[in-house]
Amino acid sequence: MSRVEQAIQKAEEQGRGAFVGYLPVGFPDLETSIEAAITLARNGADVIELGPPYSDPVMDGAIIQEATQKALASGFRMADLFTAVRKITAAVDVPVVVMTYWNPVLQYGVARFADDLLAAGGAGLITPDITPDAATEWIRESERTGLDRIFLAAPTSTEERLDLIVAASRGFVYTVSTMGITGERAELDRAARTLVGRLRSHGARRACVGIGISTAEQIRAVLEYADGAIVGTALVRALRDGGVAQLAEVTRQLSTGTRRGE
């Protein structure tokens, strides 16, 4: 069982669903982004999801794009990602996964990226824009290093595609709640519940739901049927508007939605 799966299981044993918190590396600067990720772990996050800034973030909403563009303008380099992972994992015992578009990994070198992430203490990759059938090199390197590979499933995924995603994923399947970009929504698409059910029927051990989750109430609703809830925009907004102190407060508030049966 991977560290990510162990974290999800630990939450389950405590009567909770897992809280996965996303933040971009380098926003508003590298050291603050490291402090912010540590703050997530110390205030209720079970898994940390770090996003290296990318110049063409097709899946990201306005708030995350704004943050990643600022990080790029401030001089972010891929080496900063591994520095951040190393410092975070040295400070807290929470698995860190990297949410990255595939082109930066290719440019860095897939084997080199896997080696450097493993050496820094990282737990795996979420790859939103590459499918398992196109990820032969990454699957090979993740097998070699033991890193998790987390693929995305969408409401539009065919049964054949879900079979492929479930078979290839390790850690959890990233379950897209609704079609579109990241951001906060007043109501989550009911398709998420149906999609998790479909993933279960294909043998998925762990499914975490992301895209559009921004309140404790939404987390509570998602955890009625999923293993974890992924929050990004609400956390980035808190960090942007009120710094690490506000991020800590929002993280604590969101984590109240993880306890089941309340």
Hey, which residues are catalytic here? 49, 60
Which one, of 211, 259, 224, 189, lies nearest residue 46 by Cα?
259
Q: Residue 155, preceding bond cis, omega within 30 degrees? A: no
Please provide the DSSP assignment of 139-196 as one string: HHHHHHHT-EEE-EE-TT--HHHHHHHHHH--S-EEEESSSS-S---SS--THHHHHH
DSSP state of 245: H
Rounded distance between C-alpha atoms, residue 198 and residue 224, angstroms: 15
Q: At what angle do helices 110-120 and 136-145 cross, to 10 degrees?
A: 30
CA-to-CA distance for 48 and 97, rounded, in angstroms?
6
Q: What is the rounded distance in angstroms from the CA atom of residue 257 to the CA atom of residue 246? A: 18
Entry field: residues in the chain: 262
Instruction: Name residue 10's amino acid.
Output: K
